Structure 1
Amino acid sequence: MKYFFGILGVLIGTMMVIKTEWIVQAFGSSSWAETHLGSSGGTRLMYKLIGVLLIFVSMMGVTGLLGPFIMNTFGTLFNF
């Protein structure tokens, strides 16, 4: 099942990177992204970064690196 969700995540992330203009037309622009990431292309950059992050996280999930990464990064916060 992890392979199915991993491939699905990679496909969705790839489509977010390739079809960014369609996403902007369908969902509109983000005022926060336009302010903080650029004046005319901030929303497009935000969608592309989210897509690349989704691809990266999906690949980590498929290879089994996501759990150890989360535990090593945030595990000390929950150490009682």
Structure 2
Amino acid sequence: MRIFFGLIGIIIGTFIVWKTYPLVNFFGRIDWAERHLAGGFGGTYFLYKIVGIVFVVLGAMYMFGLLDVFMSPFRSIFGGLQ
């Protein structure tokens, strides 16, 4: 099941990075990203690329079982299993 969900995350992330322009046309520009990223122009595109890369990395980490290792320090903060 990890492989399936990991591949889904990788596919979604790849799609976001690959089809950034149609996504921006469909959802519109993000004002915060335009102000704070990439000097005022293209910030929305940059934000979508970063989100896509995060999806790919987290999907791969989940698929290989590394997400638990990196998230284990946060268990005490969010009240995870003891």
Moved over 4 A (4+): none
Amino-acid identity (%): 41
1:44 equivalent in alignment to 2:45:
yes
Task: Structure 1 unaligned segments of length 5 or more: list them.
Answer: none
- TM-score after normalising by structure 2: 0.87
User: What is the alpha-carbon distance in structure 1 between the residues aligned to residue 10 and residue 20 of structure 2?
Assistant: 15
User: What is the alpha-carbon distance in structure 2 between the residues aligned to residue 78 and residue 5 of structure 1?
Assistant: 23
Aligned residues: 78
The RMSD of aligned alpha carbons is: 1.4
1:35 counterpart letter in structure 2: R
Superposed counterparts of 1:1-80, under 5 Å:
1-38=1-38, 39-72=40-73, 74-75=74-75, 77=77
Secondary structure of 1:64's counterpart equals coil
Secondary structure of 1:29's counterpart equals coil
Task: Report the alpha carbon displacement of residue 14 of structure 1 after superposing the two structures with TM.
Answer: 0.4
Task: Report the alpha carbon displacement of residue 29 of structure 1 after superposing the two structures with TM.
Answer: 0.5
